[in-house]
Chain A
Amino acid sequence: MAKTVTIVVDDIEYEVPAGMNLVDVCKQYAGVDIPVFCYHPKLGHDGNCRMCLVELATPRKNPHTGEMELAWFPTLQTACTQKTSEGMTVRTKSQKVIDGRREILEFLLSSHPLDCPICDKGGECPLQELTLRHGPGTSRMYWEEKMHLGKHVPLGELIYLDQERCILCARCIRFQDNIADDPVLAFDQRGRHQQIITASSPGFNSIFSGDTTDICPVGALTSADFRFNARPWEMVQVATICSHCPVGCNMSFDTRTDREAGGRTTIKRIMPRQNERVNEIWICDKGRFAHHHMEHPERLTKPLIRRNGRLVEAGWEEALREVTAQLQHAGENVAAIAGGRLPNEDLFALQKLIRAQGSHHIDAYPPVRGGEFTASVGVGVGTNLADMGSGDAIVVIAGDLHEEAPLWWLRVKAAAERGAMLITIGGRETRLDKFATHSLRYDYTEEVATLNALLGCMKLTGLPRSVDGLKEAVKGARAFKPDKAIKDAAEALAGANNVIALVGHEGLDGQGSHNLAQAVANLLMATGHFGRPNNGLIVVWPTANGQGASDIGVRPDYRPGYQRIPVPGMGYTDILAALADNTLRALYVVGADPLFDDPAAEQALRSTLGTIIVQDMFLTATAEVADVVLPSQSAAEREGTYTSGERRVQRFYPAIEPCGQSQPDWLIIQTIGKRLGHGNPSPSAAAVLLEIAKTVPQYAGITYQTLAEVEPQIPDVGGEDLYYGGTAFRNRHGLGVQWPAAAESGGALSAHPVEAAESIEPEEDMLLVVPITLLYDAEPVFHKTSLLHGRVPGPDILMHPEDARYLDIADGDVVRLSIDGKDITVVVRFDEQAPEGAALLPRRMQVQGAPMAATFATLVRWDVEALER
């Protein structure tokens, strides 16, 4: 328990923690609202707006009498810059304070345009609210004396600035500088001419730019997506979970009916929903703006069947009959590939159908492994990255969190700034390295070797007895020779109280990611960092529900709940091979698009004689080669659950009407199942979750009711009183449930030694191409949002200048690469941060062909055809 002190607020004594911010204390303990503009509990104090003035006194020794007495400050003091101390006395309601606040508001409003009727913030605006409560009521300013500044100043294509409305509280600047680490905003000029500018190209170049519109206490920053779209009071908030990455940010769709959409309910904007354990009050711009695919005109509205080589529209009955016939014909020679962005309910229905057919050939796409390790030594229940600080360590391996899971990046960075040790282990420098205490570099294919070397040189005093095979694993790791950097990191890691490891999959295939996760799990088990909060493993999945897919058995080697299958089915790569040689009769692809971003799928999917059934929102590249295409609903049209990378099951709600005749994936799958004689469909998504809870031991007790439970969030940001300003962040619809890993529930744990991958010697003119993931890519669910197109890079391959010089290639050269027999044309970009000896090729770009894992490609210097064009 922290030290407490007694303070007096408005003549009442309170027992409060020492050294806490006075504004927060008054709110939390005394229920007194001190108005603020520049102060924000997430940003800290700045003391520039002067709104939080109070009368303040502290005990002091009288120099004459030597007795302690209460000394009042002669002037009003800013509460936000005060920390609680013993005997501190505050008056927040005296006439002096009331007058002071009124005068400050008059200053703030001296140039404010008072165009509330057309302002997007009007209705949820702290300036409006506080002026009503504390303001002067009338203005003494002459019209000519007000500053007349730009009202439509684009700070980049996403955010617009209204210079007149800005009250210069610097919340946006402080957010960008201190939290997002994109210092792209600044003040320009001085005095009454002072204004916000952006200094980056493209303007406001930050993936968290949308968050500044939320924390702006006036309508100075508005988003291009929402500008003039609706008034805040007209919209209905529907709770949802972001479906773009494994963080599982809590958000809400703000919806309203729209005349242009024919009276349909449409998503007007996306707002973050406070969940202090997941995303606090932030979301990245991808989550905020990339929702337009859900209401896109290219959405599939009817089933399609291939007739005479062309896909034609058909009724559901006809399509289902066709699918049923094909699956009946295929019998157990059926395989399924499910997108990792599908909710748990769909994944469960799909694996049940495929297994009922007698097949275990099912896999998630992209096929990344590691779920069995999070299920055993995943982070403990109650883990909060915000609790990590001095004395703790976070290890980030083989990934770029900034691009793959922005909110984790944000929170890991914040932990590092609080004093947590940050060890980054990767093949290249990422944005996290700046904050790292130890950065370990490996050559791609040496991921496991590095982790083993790290484990091998740890000084271990007694291994946890609860883990089988740990001795062998450590013994195996001792064979790897560490270098100095690894030894230093191991020494640092040995002294850490809590350790969280985030393991990515950059440059790795399914097996590679499995091995790496095993190596990391071994390290955590050997050092005893598992089975308790703030310790354990997190897999940075490539999709929102990769963890759920693994838990639910959408993989060939485990049934739901990690029950090992003695004779595993075929995984993704084997399914493709089996399709190519026609041993599989049918492939059911749900919510995945391998043809779009995996060159290896090309030949198999195009040449197979088997039936391909695709179920998706769009006519994707894979759907174009399908025999039957079934239209499914987006996450905004139905309910369901996702399991985040931290194993938190979270629920989302239906927000808009279904698009055309589309149906939820689980219902389509179960309807097919019924026709194949596998039982009746569930009455609702909630019933499917009940069945999951019954089948998957880890999910026991999880229902839609428990997922909807909430508890007060501290700091309370954006409650009824709009105390901290910003818009409605309050989480009313559920914080989700984190399920306990085996280490916590007393399950069996085992470690296995991992062999390092064999390194391959490249041939002449071969180039190691490593696929990397970027936040903004050309994936359909993202790319249908045209607003962000300007941020998607071109067909670039990133190369270290040294490598390029060796290969005699200049910056901007167009080269041709041959990867797995597929040719692609890319533009070489020099990047000092790219590793030497490997070229980085972003995945899921307009020019497709980045491999799934690090691959050697043949390089043709110039693409003659491209040059001629």
Chain B
Amino acid sequence: MFKAGFAILQGLATTIKHVFERPVTVEYPEKRKEFSERFKGRHELKRYDNGLEKCIGCSLCSAACPADAIWVEAAENTDKERYSPGERYAKTYEINMLRCIFCGYCEDACPTEAIVLEKHIELSYYDRESAIFTKEMLLVPPPPGVWGTPKSVTPHSFDRAIPVMENPE
């Protein structure tokens, strides 16, 4: 009898001890956890401060992707209708999130740091088609007060696709 009662108290003590500890879970979705710097969530396509897209449609992310999740189609920029610096921009940019394995190779391959695996984690869908993120969904909005793309620019002001390279030491 005594033995049994002790066992119960022992068990409860373990439970009660946890009542006073800080919980490891958060009240999702009202509260969210901070992710570590190297966390790899859903991608974003970045813009320059002037609103132009960083992506130049080179398809290197698509070539690097081990899961064949990225589809890029390119087209030619004009100064009247400019999406990105240089001659080429991504006309179509799609990532199939069901295929993506969040390895980050696309980020490594990108010559302009346009694609970044960000902290978005809500990736659930009712059908397969909605798992395909289009360019509009991936592209971040332009900085406040800056016109997005396409935009008309001064001729020959954005002739270079790759940001100016570093000079040698």
Binding site for B on A (CB under 8 A): 113-115, 117-118, 122, 138-143, 151-152, 227-231, 233-234, 258-260
Contact = CB atoms under 8 A, between A and B. Distances in A.
Contacts of A118: 56-58, 74, 86-88, 161-162
B160 A115 contact: yes
B73 A259 contact: yes
Q: For this complex, into which size category does the number of interface residues on chain B fall?
A: 20 to 34
Given A115-B161, A143-B167, A151 B87 contact: yes
Contacts of A229: 74
Contact of B168 (A117, A139, A152): A139
Given A117-B162, A122-B58, A228-B75, 16 more contacts: A117-B58, A117-B112, A117-B161, A118-B58, A118-B74, A138-B168, A140-B168, A142-B168, A143-B164, A143-B165, A143-B167, A151-B159, A230-B59, A234-B63, A260-B73, A260-B91
Contacts of B63: 231, 233-234
Contacts of A258: 73
B135 to A, nearest CB: 11
Interface in B83-126: 86-88, 91-92, 94, 111-112
Interface of B: 56-60, 62-63, 71, 73-76, 86-88, 91-92, 94, 111-112, 159-162, 164-165, 167-168
B59 A234 contact: yes
Contacts of B164: 143
Nearest to B111: A117
A229 B165 CA distance: 26
B150 to A, nearest CB: 16
Nearest to B94: A259
Contacts of A113: 160, 162
18 contacts: A113-B160, A114-B165, A115-B161, A117-B111, A117-B161, A118-B58, A118-B87, A122-B58, A138-B168, A141-B168, A143-B164, A143-B165, A227-B76, A228-B75, A231-B58, A234-B62, A259-B73, A259-B92
A475 B88 CA distance: 70
A236 to B, nearest CB: 14
A113 B60 CA distance: 18
A654 B58 CA distance: 28
Contacts of B71: 259
A266 B168 CA distance: 44
Nearest to A122: B58
A228 B87 CA distance: 9
A405 to B, nearest CB: 34
A152 B87 CA distance: 8
A151 B85 CA distance: 13
Contacts of B59: 230-231, 234
Nearest to A224: B76
A234 to B, nearest CB: 7
Contacts of A143: 164-165, 167
Nearest to B88: A118
Contacts of A141: 168
Contacts of A139: 165, 168
A115 B162 CA distance: 6
A128 to B, nearest CB: 13
Contacts of B88: 118, 228
Contacts of B57: 118, 228
A691 B56 CA distance: 53
A230 B74 CA distance: 7
A229 B75 CA distance: 7
A8 B168 CA distance: 41
Interface centre among A138, A228, A230, A258 (most CB of B within 10 A): A228
A238 B110 CA distance: 30
A114 B86 CA distance: 12
B88 to A, nearest CB: 4
A436 to B, nearest CB: 44
B138 to A, nearest CB: 15
A143 B91 CA distance: 30
Nearest to B134: A259
Contacts of A259: 71, 73, 92, 94
A231 B111 CA distance: 15
7 tightest Cβ-Cβ pairs between the two chains A and B:
A117-B58, A118-B88, A228-B74, A118-B161, A117-B111, A259-B92, A231-B59
Contacts of B62: 234
A259 B168 CA distance: 42
A192 B114 CA distance: 33
Nearest to B76: A228
Contacts of B168: 138-142
Nearest to B109: A117
Nearest to B164: A143
Contacts of A151: 87, 159
Nearest to B161: A118
Nearest to A231: B59
A603 to B, nearest CB: 49
Contacts of B111: 117
A152 B60 CA distance: 22
A142 B161 contact: no
Interface centre among A118, A139, A227, A230 (most CB of B within 10 A): A118
Contacts of B160: 113, 115
Contacts of B91: 260
B74 A114 contact: no
A118 B88 CA distance: 6
Interface centre among A140, A141, A231 (most CB of B within 10 A): A231
A464 B88 CA distance: 66
B128 to A, nearest CB: 14
Nearest to A117: B58
Contacts of A117: 56, 58, 60, 111-112, 161-162
A230 B90 CA distance: 11
A231 B112 CA distance: 17
Contacts of A138: 168
A164 to B, nearest CB: 10
Contacts of A230: 59, 73-74
A258 B92 CA distance: 10
B169 to A, nearest CB: 10
A777 B104 CA distance: 52
Contacts of B75: 228
A114 B167 contact: no
A222 B59 CA distance: 18
Contacts of A140: 168
A270 B75 CA distance: 19
Contacts of A231: 58-59, 63
Contacts of B76: 227-228
Contacts of A142: 167-168
Contact of B86 (A115, A227, A233, A234): A115
Nearest to A140: B168
Nearest to A123: B63
A231 B56 CA distance: 13
A329 B165 CA distance: 77
Contacts of B161: 115, 117-118
A259 B62 CA distance: 15
A234 B60 CA distance: 11
A259 B73 CA distance: 8
B92 A114 contact: no
A255 to B, nearest CB: 14
B158 to A, nearest CB: 11
Nearest to B59: A231
A141 B166 CA distance: 10
Nearest to A222: B87
A492 to B, nearest CB: 54
Nearest to A227: B76
B87 A114 contact: no
A139 B166 CA distance: 10
A113 B91 CA distance: 23
A138 B168 CA distance: 8
Contacts of B94: 259
B162 A114 contact: yes
A636 to B, nearest CB: 20
B6 to A, nearest CB: 70
A518 B5 CA distance: 120
